[in-house]
Structure 1
């Protein structure tokens, strides 16, 4: 089955003037923004092939905190040697991290045609800080990285004032792409042709019912794998397209596992059982908690996971059952209100999982009975 690498081999000899931007190109840009372009494109622009040469020369670290790190570095090499991508100018690289007020932000701009730019926002890495900020989307529509994304888009749109604008990102980057588009100045919003949200979390009901959101919603393209978890967080007003993945469970979040045919992903016609289960659980869990409870749960959960100096989920995985004493110790440290919020949240999720699992299985059984004529 074909993937991003196969797509570059197949479509790599055609420029964007002959074969316009498509959903697979958008995910390629959304993956390349995960790379460390520092020192290369903050104050100038460089074509992708030169950036690839510099990456090799400088022996840039390949094991940045991303589960697809090595694949993304290979993607840079493949893009940098293809006629379609190699001369695309990359500019305005920006990256900020802050642990105290959890925030991770990364972005860059690809000028892929004489009058077209793609603004790419970086998604979440494997660090606890990054995922804590993601979870804060459930508490506020104005987390630090979202505000940075809106400011970044307005800045590059003014810089490239004669260009059509395409925006996208993977994971949290997809959420940032939508947020930036919704909050763009009116004259910039008019130039936005498409927004690509690749398995990124949604927003609050109030956000997607706002007039600003409605102005851009018909240009939002959301893609989720058949067992999406991240993309099912919060509300989505736009229709989402389900894509086929070669992986299972949470690992389908890795866009390198998404199957490609021609110039698009393999689309699935119906919601999968796992998507319906995740969507119902996440929405009902978030709606069943107050903002204060959600904040207490997020703070407590990440404080417990970080006990013993753990920085990434990989650190937790490597520690295995050795985590248990550290987590018990950390749980005992948190205040009584936070303990109650955390245990109430876990209890509610367990109840929802049982209820929604039963309802979805019951609905599926009825549908099969009708199809076979068995009542």
Structure 2
């Protein structure tokens, strides 16, 4: 089954005048914001955009592609995708601008965005999803706790500033994973004048929102232009509440690995649709039941405890946790030792899910081995005491 890379090979020779912007183009541009173009593409208000082909040349000349190779979460195909894009008639001549990135541990904020100029005076504002940083992951968890988080507020400000730079242009907003959430949140809160210029908002398997946002008039004004795209076994995209309708697409992966947009199946200018929604409905129900079982203080305490455990080894990214291996696992288990039994059990489950979700299988294996070793030692001590 074809995927994003095949799409670039087979349809990259078609310009946007020959084949209009479509949902597959949306995901490609959403993934593009994972490319670190700081110092290459101008920031908001920093001048004219740079042709993608020229930006890619500078990017690869600086060896920045290597930064994705050590990542646990960011798809490793992104540098190859960028190469194909800049060699294509469809994407190579597009201009990129409004490059912005921020990581603030104190505010628990991870944000990055990029603007891509399309023909006919339209611009796609691409919001980066969660990266490898533990700060970014904690902000994701905070979305289930609060009506707004720092990156959502920054996304609104970003859209207002970018829209002012591209005065009278029409807008697309989109992102993958958390980036999809930021796209929707900023579209709802950017004001009626900017909303009138938005053609579509794409949430590509990103988490939804607390019910308070969906009931607002600002959301109703743009709801019919919000497109939620989920793989057939979505977990991430069904966290919290979503718009009533969403598109379910096929994937070459299984389970949580379907979150990877490069696994989504493509046929021509569209993703391959799925008619069977059984897996979606099951995930939707089980996750919401778990979230609803906790009150607000419990959710906050649990999240704080989880990330204290994850940070116990001194690592700041999932890649660092994976590289430290047994050391990370041992430090995290030690940090859990003083907690009550119920909290330890919940954290053990959450850490396992997080490692699976991020594809860090080797770290999950180390965690299980260290956990089993500690249980054996505890049992041995108990036997000696009884003797």
TM-score normalised to structure 1 length: 0.87
> Partners in 2 of 1:173 and 1:342 — Cα distance?
31
CA distance in 2, matches of 1:210, 1:345: 34
Contact residue 3 and residue 257 of structure 1 kept, 8 A:
yes
What residue is the counterpart of 2:200 in the other structure? 194
- For the residues of structure 1 that align with 2:285 and 2:37, how far apart are their CA atoms? 39
In structure 2, distance between residues paired with 1:52 and 1:132 = 31
1:90 to 2:86 alignment: no
Aligned CA RMSD, in angstroms, stands at: 2.0
Gap runs ≥5 in structure 2: 351-387
SS of 1:63 mapped into structure 2: helix
Contact 1:296 1:341 (8 Å CA) reproduced? no
**Contact 1:196–1:222, Cα closer than 8 Å, also in 2:** yes
Question: Which residue is 1:300 aligned to?
Answer: 305
**What is the CA distance between 1:211 and its match in structure 2?**
1.2
Superposed, 1:40-59 pairs within 5 Å as: 40-41=40-41, 42=43, 43-44=46-47, 45-59=49-63
Q: Give the drift of 1:127.
A: 2.3
- Whether the aligned pair in 2 keeps the contact of 1:308 and 1:326 (CA below 8 Å) is yes
What is residue 29 of structure 1 aligned with on the other side? 29
2:353 aligns with none
* Partner residue in 2 for 1:365: none
1:77 equivalent in structure 2: 83
Equivalences for 1:170-249 in 2 at 5 Å?
A: 170-249=176-255
More divergent stretch after superposition (258-267 vs 277-286): 277-286
Report how far residue 311 of structure 1 moved: 2.6
Classify the secondary structure of the residue corresponding to 2:227. strand
C-alpha displacement of 1:36:
0.4
SS of the residue corresponding to residue 194 of structure 1 reads: strand
1:283 is aligned to 288
For the 8 Å contact 1:222–1:241, the answer to whether it is kept is yes
Structure 1, gaps ≥5 residues long: 349-375
The reply on whether 1:130 has 2:118 as its aligned counterpart is no
Residues in 2 aligned to 1:73 and 1:14: alpha-carbon distance in whole angstroms: 21
Whether the aligned pair in 2 keeps the contact of 1:300 and 1:342 (CA below 8 Å) is no
- Using the alignment, how far apart are the partners of 1:92 and 1:77 within structure 2? 21
Q: Counterpart in 1 of 2:317?
A: 312
What SS is found at the alignment partner of 1:21?
A: coil
From the superposition, tell whether residues 328 and 347 of structure 1 become closer, same or farther in structure 2 (CA, over 3 Å). closer
Distance 1:347 1:12 in 2: 43
CA distance in 1, matches of 2:334, 2:115: 45
On the 8 A contact 2:98/2:115 being kept in 1, the answer is: yes
Is it true that 1:104 corresponds to 2:139 in the alignment? Answer: no
Shift of residue 69, structure 1, vs aligned partner: 4.3
Q: 2:67 aligns with which of 56, 63, 67?
A: 63
Question: C-alpha distance in 2, partners of 1:325/1:214?
Answer: 49
Count residues with an aligned counterpart: 344
Partner of 2:76: helix, strand, or coil? helix
- Contact 1:137/1:203 (<8 A) preserved: yes
